[in-house]
Amino acid sequence: MDEAGCQPARASAGTMGAMSGRFQTLHVEHALTTDRVATELRRAVFEGELESGTPLREIALAESLGVSRPTVREALAVLVAEGLATREPHRGVSVATPRAESVRDVCRARQVLEGAGIQAWRSATPDARRRVRATLDAYTAAVRADASYEELNERHLSFHVSLVELTGSTRLVQMADALMDELKLALAQVDRVRRNAHDQADSHESLVRLLEADEVDGEAGAAGFLRRHIADAEVEIIEALDLQ
């Protein structure tokens, strides 16, 4: 039921936009220009073209994107609502600056959402269970194929979202998507140096093996595994941010 094209084109734009390459301006059929602009801005943020803290001037964006200022304003409001940018009254919108505290908060929230997914493993639909395996396989395949940094990120985070999908709640999945977008923003600010952190595919394989063996609870089960995994990711990202 997640694949059924629900009406809010915005939700899927977040996860699909970064993967779908660069044909945004041409191929979108009846996409409203506001969404187009928002998607373009998201892409620029995720790919690090816009550094954290960069002010997003309405007039400059309107001219460079070939749209009007009200349209830009609406798109900026979307970005702000998603937490990817911040607005200060009369001082405009700028790219959000991920602080260590916000990374900790995001990871605490991930802990809850993904943990709920794992707890729901036994009662989850076979479809959702298959999807966990599928997203993991896609991730490991991308790792072996030496895919781009952005694609690895995308597939890695998609796997974690698929854990939340085990709960069967579209709202929880939406929340997880928003959290992942914030992480993508933070990761985009990290210098390209640590792009090699993606040999964790094996770790995820172990996690899914535990699930498939129905070893869910406890510190030795999938739950504990996930807790450690997210905690590791947290300190890793924070360290990367701290040393700029």
Residue 73: CB minimum distance to a second copy, A: 7
Site string for a second copy, 10-49 (x = CB under 8 A): --------------------x-x-----------------
Q: Which is nearer to DNA, 89 or 126 (CB)?
A: 89
Residues 6+ apart with CB under 8 A from 28: 35, 36
> What residues numbered 199-218 form the site for a second copy, per CB under 8 A?
none
- Amino acid identity for residue 50 in this structure: L
If one asks whether residue 173 binds DNA (CB under 7 A), the answer comes out as no
**For residues 166 and 128, is the Cβ–Cβ distance under 8 A?**
yes
Q: Which is nearer to a second copy, 120 or 142 (CB)?
A: 120
Q: Which is nearer to DNA, 17 or 117 (CB)?
A: 17
Residue 198: CB minimum distance to DNA, A: 36
If one asks whether residue 74 binds a second copy (CB under 8 A), the answer comes out as yes
For the chain, the maximum distance between any two Cα atoms, rounded to a whole number of angstroms, is 56
If one asks whether residue 144 binds a second copy (CB under 8 A), the answer comes out as no
If one asks whether residue 6 binds a second copy (CB under 8 A), the answer comes out as no
The listed partner (DNA, a second copy, none) that binds 92, CB under 5 to 8 Å by sort, is DNA
Residue 53: CB minimum distance to DNA, A: 13
Site string for DNA, 77-96 (x = CB under 7 A): ----------x-xxxxx---
Residues 6+ apart with CB under 8 A from 167: 113, 116, 117, 120, 124, 173
If one asks whether residue 198 binds DNA (CB under 7 A), the answer comes out as no
Q: Which is nearer to DNA, 30 or 192 (CB)?
A: 30
If one asks whether residue 141 binds DNA (CB under 7 A), the answer comes out as no
Sole residue written with tokens 């993967």: 19
**For residues 185 and 96, is the Cβ–Cβ distance under 8 A?**
yes
Contact residues: a second copy, CB under 8 A? 7, 30, 32, 70, 73-74, 77-78, 81, 86, 88-90, 105-106, 108-109, 112-113, 115-116, 167-172, 175, 179
